[in-house]
Structure 1
Amino acid sequence: MLSALCLLLAVPIVAVATDAAAEGVDEVEALLVEAGSVKTSDVARFQQLLGELDTRAGDATPEQRHRLQILRAYRHALLGESGPAVDLLGGVLGESRVPDIRFEAGGLLSNIHAANRRFEDSLRILEEILPLVDRIKDLETRHRGLLNAGVVYNQVGEYRIGRQLAQAVVDSHPDPRNACAAENLVAEASLGLEEDVDEPRLRANIAHCDALNERVFAAFARAHLARWLAASDRVDQAIRLLEGYLATVEETRYPFLQGVYHALLAEYRLREGAQAQAEAHAVVAVERTRGIGNIEPLVSAYGTLYRIASQRGDAEATLLAYKAFVDAERRHLNDVKSREMAYQIVRHQSQQQSQQIELLNQKNALLELDQSNTRQRARLWLVVAGLLAFLLATTAYWAFTTKRLQMRLRRLAELDPLTGVSNRHHFSEKAGRVLASCKQDHRVVALLTFDLDHFKQVNDRYGHAAGDWVLQQVAKACAELCGPGDCIGRLGGEEFAMLLPGCDAATGRQLAEDALDRLAAIDTDGRGYEVRIAASFGITDTTLSGYDLTRLMSHGDRAMYAAKRAGRARVAVFDEDNVRALTPRSSGLDGPAELRLAGDERRTFPA
């Protein structure tokens, strides 16, 4: 939904009363106000007004020039020229100190970055402008900024933040269009969190968006409702809802939205047994979305075509559809991972920045104390000996305190604060040094990457405190398996990695099986959590993947995804041609110890 809402929501306004233009107080102001009011309804007039404003830019105040730059950036964004738009908005943020202008420019810039899949840049801008929200005088500007942020946070998987921002707009009496968009984001976040959707509220919003003739918002609201109906075993209602609005969706000429509708209809028609209709919708969904990127409707459509071919018993078509489905799913999952990682990186950088500010404050306090002591010494020369002793003691104390703080900050910079193992950055640095040393000594190194299975269900059912506890127990159990020269790190979320110098893939596989046994043995009942902890492991070593860390991590991830596709709670060993997916003999988990084909041949899965 991101690409649909970015520019629909990021419409800059010129927050000045329109009666100023009517009274002719300021001709530049009048042109700015009119340009802001017609930019979506009359593009030709909008372009003409920008031309007139360009000729009168010399008469404008600094604030008016900044508002003109925002309008110019919006024009570039509409034309798909993100480079000039980013330059203009960056200039506004660098020069203006007016909260409303910074908030407006930052919101548009954040959405342009998000539309271009530059989520780290987008989130950094939001971190900068969201603290300004309470200082924004224009209510519509504030609402639109919160909605822009909600769209981005939903896209990076932080649905609770996205819903909180959208609900804040709903609760503060927005204008009708922003209310329509906000309710859409609330429903989208609830679906993303796999929570119950307020169906009467969503139906009311559909009627509201229809009344405004906001067809794109109304279409997405119907798609959200259809997903909820299907999840509630009302597939027939979902089909009628989507088919009843399909003609309007086709009129929008918006491929992504069309792909969403056709992909959902293909999935639901197949569930109803209407194979021919399902195939027709799936084919259209693929045609409309294949060139857009790594999006969910494309994955869904390929999955439907794969199931249809399998039901028909057409082996060749099944294989082709399966390959397309797996490739689309892999690219989509990678895209989702990159968005989630962008959020984690920006969040970590924000925490580091806060820690650095705190350290500077302490250093400033020390400086002020030294200056005060110096002035005191000059005035009280009769007690210089005692004062000198006091100063030396104070300096020694602050030096000791500062040293301890520096050591603590170093640990914070290197270790994951929740689990106590290395964070992603420190793990990468340490692993790089180990690999370089082992390469010179011709020593083999094994890499294990693993991701906890169904971890989101722990957070959803028992809360984030339970999830944090599980992560701590997993890190502790796996760290106990590491030797003095081994590295273990948390890469982000529920994903970990272990680097084992002197071990090959076979040894790594044995260690992964031991880790699965340890994870299964973690006692969750004592905490009141009725869960069984398991993970999917991917194994490779330098004889298979070389000594380049990026390549090792890529191959480990491919093996790990193969383990997940094989049923999770398994170990998969990377091979240039295939990945062997195994389950440990003594893990205590359900399923056979090893997946096999006829006879004794191991079943393999494509990397």
Structure 2
Amino acid sequence: MTATGAMTMIRANAPREAVAGDARDVRSRARWRLGLLLVGIVLSQVALAGDALDALIEEASALRTSDPQRVDALLRDMAGHLETATEAQRARVQLLRVHRMMTSGQSAIATDQLTALLASTADPVARFETASMLANIYAVQRRFEDALRMLETMLPLADQVEDAQLRHRGLMVAAIVYNQVGEFGQAQQYAERVLREDPDGRNACAAGGVLLEAINGLGQSFTDAAGQSALDRCTAQGEPIFAGFVRLHIARQWDTRGRWEEALALLGGGLAAVERTGYPFLIAQTRAALAALSQRAGQPAAARAHAEAALANSQDATSTEARVTAHRVQYELALAKGDAVAALAAYRQYVDAERAHFNDVKTREMAYQVVRHQSLQQAQQIELLRQKNQLLELERSVTEQRARSWLLLTLVLVGLVASVGYWAYKTKRLQMRLKRMTEVDALTGISNRQHFSERAEAALAQCARERMPAVLVMFDLDHFKLVNDRHGHAAGDWALQQVAVRVQPLCREIDSFGRLGGEEFALLLPGLDESAGRRLAGDAQARLAGVDTQAQGYGFRIAASFGVASAITGGYSLAALMRQADQAMYAAKRNGRRQVRVFDPHAQGDDPEASQALRGRVHEVAAAPAHAGDPTRRAIA
């Protein structure tokens, strides 16, 4: 029998159950192969979907400031891919959505989501990008202290970010925020760092514009070639918002050089592109600049139209500079026309706008000083904790020494007494040092704000009980920002120390003298009236003028504006006296600085000299303060 025949016989004699089992195995293997095929198809589709989502994310990232409508369409397309997306892809999509919320006015929702993300992640790259976006939002919301704190979180992480575009975007946010708070030197450093690192087109465009703004803010100049290069970069990248700001920076530079016609042509040529952006802040700034240039060029109708358009687009709190320029142009046009009624109305609006702008600039500059002061205080608190730990260690050492000394009392009694006395002396000195550190300003050596307030309130309460007069003198250094910008913060710190050294000898033991913050100081003089306060302020002004800055290698002059308020008008409330003294000090600033003003409740209103000028229809108007250096620029990074 052949082998084939034997096999045939075996199959023929096999039980039916075995045959059925073979059939089931065949069907099972077929189903298994079909399942593998389906899994392979699904996995390939997931991979293709992931690649497609990455492509959408990259396109949206590149267009997120230049084409918001396209970004909206891309975000809608991304929604269909999120079910199969990775965690990293979902995070990138979330950040794009948050950025779109920022640019569409939903900053509150974006802030909540970014804050939660920053608190939940430890990844340095994610923290860097999240903190940079939060800093941008806070700057848009005028929360500059929060923005500066976010920069303190973000900037130490910059060197850990390998993605150059992401790193450059964060550094540009820092540069923009520093421009807004008036720290143009730091803004210039970060913009120049980005340009040195060969950025992509968009970041190169942003860095060029921010650098021009910083140079203007520092009162320096740049060449026409540098300005044109920055404008060409932004135009080539299709970035109309950044290009609009670059034109403004160039026009401001030309305006200071008397090149009005060229500046007018430059801004006028780009006006249509600026209008198409729909960005009210940029439109208001451009229209206001065109109004001022048109007036100088002898085009009153165009100046009036541009001023009205600027005011129509400057309704939010960020456009105070545009409103100042527009109202000033309206005021001067009305004067030139001989319409005293219209001129008076425009002048009132101009004064209100200028006051709001001054307060806005002061608030932004103070935000930097507050955060810087808080950083110094934090370092001081760390030192306090170290000193307290040292104190505890000393006390523990004393305790241990005492315990050991009891065992050797008969032999080391003299040594024990000496040791205990030594450690007690050290402990007392350390306690006194800690007390001084909590009451004294670390830079100037006089009372800090909290200690000054406590002493002043106690002195005012005693004066109220004894029916004694009291006077508060506040003063603020004039042009102190220029000292920091031109000579550095070391020069500014030296100047603040000189103020304390020169004014302290004028105080009695019962007087309170303290630094309120930044370049602002105050004195509370119990038992004296406002004439005595004015004399002391005059003596202080003379002493400040006598500071020799040349000996230190500097070339600036120290002067201050003083405000005096008496308990006769303000009562014995420290808050009321500080408010009145601040108003008097503001009046001194407004009237030329380097002078002393006493608070007068009957003189808080419009400038009487300006009103008299309007009634007489005076046609020669002093030039308005230059605002080219004011850090009011806002852009989305």
Tell me which interval the TM-score lies in, with the shorter structure as reference length: 0.7 to 0.9
Deviation of 1:365 (Å): 8.0
Question: Equivalent residue for 1:163?
Answer: 188
Question: Equivalent residue for 1:123?
Answer: 148
1:216-275 deviation per Cα after TM superposition (whole angstroms, max 9, x unaligned): 111100110111111122222212211121222122222211111121122223333433
Structure 1: which 5+ runs fail to align?
1-20, 376-381, 582-594, 599-607
Alpha-carbon distance in 2 for matches of 1:530, 1:48 = 60
Alpha-carbon distance in 1 for matches of 2:428, 2:97 = 51
Deviation of 1:569 (Å): 2.1
Q: Of residues 350, 356, 372 in structure 2, which corresponds to 1:325?
A: 350
Alpha-carbon distance in 2 for matches of 1:363, 1:390 = 26
Three-state SS of the structure 2 residue aligned to 1:416 is coil
Alpha-carbon distance in 1 for matches of 2:258, 2:380 = 50
Quick one: structure 1 residues 117 and 464, their matched pair in 2 at CA, closer, same or farther if it must change by over 3 Å? closer
Question: Equivalent residue for 1:261?
Answer: 286
The answer as to 2:56 corresponding to 1:34 is yes
Q: Please say if residues 513 and 523 of structure 2, whose CA atoms lie closer than 8 Å, have aligned partners that are also in contact.
A: yes
Q: What fraction of aligned residue pairs are identical, expressed as a percent? A: 48
Quick one: structure 1 residues 121 and 523, their matched pair in 2 at CA, closer, same or farther if it must change by over 3 Å? closer
Question: Equivalent residue for 2:509?
Answer: 484
Q: Please say if residues 432 and 549 of structure 1, whose CA atoms lie closer than 8 Å, have aligned partners that are also in contact.
A: yes
Q: Of residues 322, 332, 346 in structure 2, which corresponds to 1:307?
A: 332
Deviation of 1:420 (Å): 2.3
Alpha-carbon distance in 1 for matches of 2:176, 2:449 = 27
Question: Equivalent residue for 1:575?
Answer: 600
Q: Please say if residues 373 and 391 of structure 1, whose CA atoms lie closer than 8 Å, have aligned partners that are also in contact.
A: no
Equivalences, count: 562
Higher relative contact order (CA 8 A, sep 6+): 2
Q: Which amino acid aligns with 2:201?
A: P
Moved more, 473-482 or 162-171: 473-482
TM-score normalised to structure 1 length: 0.80
Deviation of 1:578 (Å): 0.7
Deviation of 1:406 (Å): 6.1
Alpha-carbon distance in 2 for matches of 1:478, 1:515 = 6
Question: Equivalent residue for 1:45?
Answer: 73
Quick one: structure 1 residues 338 and 398, their matched pair in 2 at CA, closer, same or farther if it must change by over 3 Å? farther
Three-state SS of the structure 2 residue aligned to 1:490 is strand
TM-score normalised to structure 2 length: 0.77
The answer as to 2:202 corresponding to 1:202 is no
Quick one: structure 1 residues 476 and 357, their matched pair in 2 at CA, closer, same or farther if it must change by over 3 Å? closer
Alpha-carbon distance in 2 for matches of 1:48, 1:455 = 51
Q: Which amino acid aligns with 2:585?
A: M
Question: Equivalent residue for 2:175?
Answer: 150
Three-state SS of the structure 2 residue aligned to 1:567 is coil
Q: Which amino acid aligns with 2:300?
A: Q
Q: Which amino acid aligns with 1:418?
A: L
Deviation of 1:285 (Å): 1.6
Question: Equivalent residue for 1:423?
Answer: 448
Alpha-carbon distance in 2 for matches of 1:521, 1:204 = 47
Q: Which amino acid aligns with 1:34?
A: L
Three-state SS of the structure 2 residue aligned to 1:418 is coil
Q: Please say if residues 32 and 68 of structure 1, whose CA atoms lie closer than 8 Å, have aligned partners that are also in contact.
A: no
Three-state SS of the structure 2 residue aligned to 1:213 is coil
Q: Please say if residues 572 and 580 of structure 1, whose CA atoms lie closer than 8 Å, have aligned partners that are also in contact.
A: no
Deviation of 1:408 (Å): 4.3
The alignment's C-alpha RMSD in Å is 4.1
Q: Which amino acid aligns with 2:237?
A: L
Alpha-carbon distance in 1 for matches of 2:428, 2:120 = 38
Question: Equivalent residue for 1:565?
Answer: 590
Q: Please say if residues 185 and 485 of structure 2, whose CA atoms lie closer than 8 Å, have aligned partners that are also in contact.
A: no
Q: How does 1:397-408 map to 2 (within 5 A)?
A: 407-408=432-433
Q: Which amino acid aligns with 2:270?
A: Y
Q: Please say if residues 133 and 142 of structure 1, whose CA atoms lie closer than 8 Å, have aligned partners that are also in contact.
A: yes
Moved more, 395-404 or 409-418: 395-404
Question: Equivalent residue for 1:539?
Answer: 564
Q: Please say if residues 572 and 579 of structure 1, whose CA atoms lie closer than 8 Å, have aligned partners that are also in contact.
A: no
Q: Please say if residues 298 and 328 of structure 1, whose CA atoms lie closer than 8 Å, have aligned partners that are also in contact.
A: yes
Question: Equivalent residue for 2:114?
Answer: 89
Q: How does 1:241-320 map to 2 (within 5 A)?
A: 241-293=266-318, 295-320=320-345
Q: Please say if residues 366 and 398 of structure 1, whose CA atoms lie closer than 8 Å, have aligned partners that are also in contact.
A: no
Question: Equivalent residue for 2:158?
Answer: 133
Deviation of 1:460 (Å): 5.3
Three-state SS of the structure 2 residue aligned to 1:338 is helix
Three-state SS of the structure 2 residue aligned to 1:102 is helix
Alpha-carbon distance in 1 for matches of 2:394, 2:195 = 49
Alpha-carbon distance in 1 for matches of 2:133, 2:581 = 38
Q: Which amino acid aligns with 2:323?
A: L
Deviation of 1:94 (Å): 1.4
Question: Equivalent residue for 1:12?
Answer: none
1:276-320 deviation per Cα after TM superposition (whole angstroms, max 9, x unaligned): 433332222222213444521111222222333334443333322
Quick one: structure 1 residues 458 and 100, their matched pair in 2 at CA, closer, same or farther if it must change by over 3 Å? closer
Three-state SS of the structure 1 residue aligned to 2:514 is strand
The answer as to 2:536 corresponding to 1:511 is yes
Alpha-carbon distance in 1 for matches of 2:412, 2:183 = 55
Larger radius of gyration: 2
